[in-house]
Homo-oligomer: A and B are copies of this chain.
Amino acid sequence: MPYVNIKITKEGATPEQKAQLIQGATQLLIDVLGKNPRTTVVVIDEVATDNWGIGGETVTSLRKRA
């Protein structure tokens, strides 16, 4: 019955990679806690780099400096 929300910056994750995140997170809940995959929900949010900050700075700005 778990609910997993994965937030990542929107920087080109493919449908295949997102499917792997969903598969992997669901498997993790099975492996560690024996949860039923049929009612395990995983939602991925892809966030624009202008809208994500770390260290007080947007990722857009961090990427420019990198």
Contacts and interface: CB of A to CB of B under 8 A. Distances in A.
Interface of A: 1-9, 13, 15, 17-29, 31-33, 35, 37-47, 50-61
Given A15-B60, A18-B50, 19 more contacts: A1-B52, A1-B54, A3-B6, A3-B7, A3-B43, A4-B6, A4-B25, A5-B5, A15-B58, A19-B58, A20-B32, A22-B53, A24-B28, A26-B53, A37-B56, A39-B41, A41-B41, A42-B54, A44-B51
Contacts of A17: 32-33
Contact of A54 (B28, B32, B40, B51): B40
A37 B15 contact: no
